[in-house]
């Protein structure tokens, strides 16, 4: 920190990233998507979340790196109150210059 002037606030460390995720465990029928959307919105992230046919929840999240890391941590450890997460996998992480989604949606 320590630098003055807000112009360089978006430094290299605060660039935007896009990450795909899939969460395994008891994550369907426990409002997992609703809570994921709520957490993502709280962090100011965009993307989507949906149930898969094989009992997992998957999606994509985009936003400032530090915030995306927070959601990754949440997906790995917390989830919705009734959920039981066995593991979360993240893939296709890449730096992006603009957000590709307008908000965080629950897909059917």
Tell me, yes or no, whether 31 lies in a domain. Answer: yes
Domain total of the chain: 1
DSSP three-state, residue 38: helix
- Alpha-carbon distance of 86 to 84, in angstroms, equals 6
* Alpha carbon of residue 62 to chain centroid: 7
Give pLDDT tens digits for 18-72.
Answer: 999 999 999 999 999 999 999 999 999 999 999 999 999 999 999 999 999 999 9
Question: Mean pLDDT over residues 2-15, rounded?
Answer: 54
Distances (CA, A) of 107 to 26, 41, 53, 92: 19, 15, 13, 20
The range of the structural domain enclosing residue 79 comes to: 16-106
Tell me, yes or no, whether 6 lies in a domain. Answer: no
pLDDT at 14: 67
Question: Mean pLDDT over residues 76-96, rounded?
Answer: 98
Return the closest-CA partner of residue 95 out of 33, 14, 17, 27.
17
pLDDT at 10 over 70: no
Q: Which of 51, 67, 69, 76 is catalytic?
A: 51
Q: Which of 26, 33, 69, 87 is catalytic?
A: 33
Annotation marks residue 42 as catalytic: no
Which pTM value belongs to this model?
0.86
- Alpha-carbon distance of 40 to 42, in angstroms, equals 5
């Amino acid at each position: 920190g320590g630098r003055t002037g807000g112009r360089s606030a978006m430094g290299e460390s605060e660039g935007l990233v896009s990450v795909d995720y899939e969460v395994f465990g008891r994550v369907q029928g426990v409002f997992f998507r609703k809570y994921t959307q709520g957490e993502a919105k709280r962090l100011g992230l965009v993307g989507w979340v949906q149930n898969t046919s094989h009992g997992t929840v998957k999606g994509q999240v985009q936003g400032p790196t530090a915030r995306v890391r927070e959601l990754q941590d949440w997906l790995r450890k917390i989830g919705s109150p009734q959920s039981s997460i066995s593991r979360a996998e993240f893939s296709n992480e890449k730096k992006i210059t603009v957000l590709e989604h307008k908000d965080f949606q629950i897909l059917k």
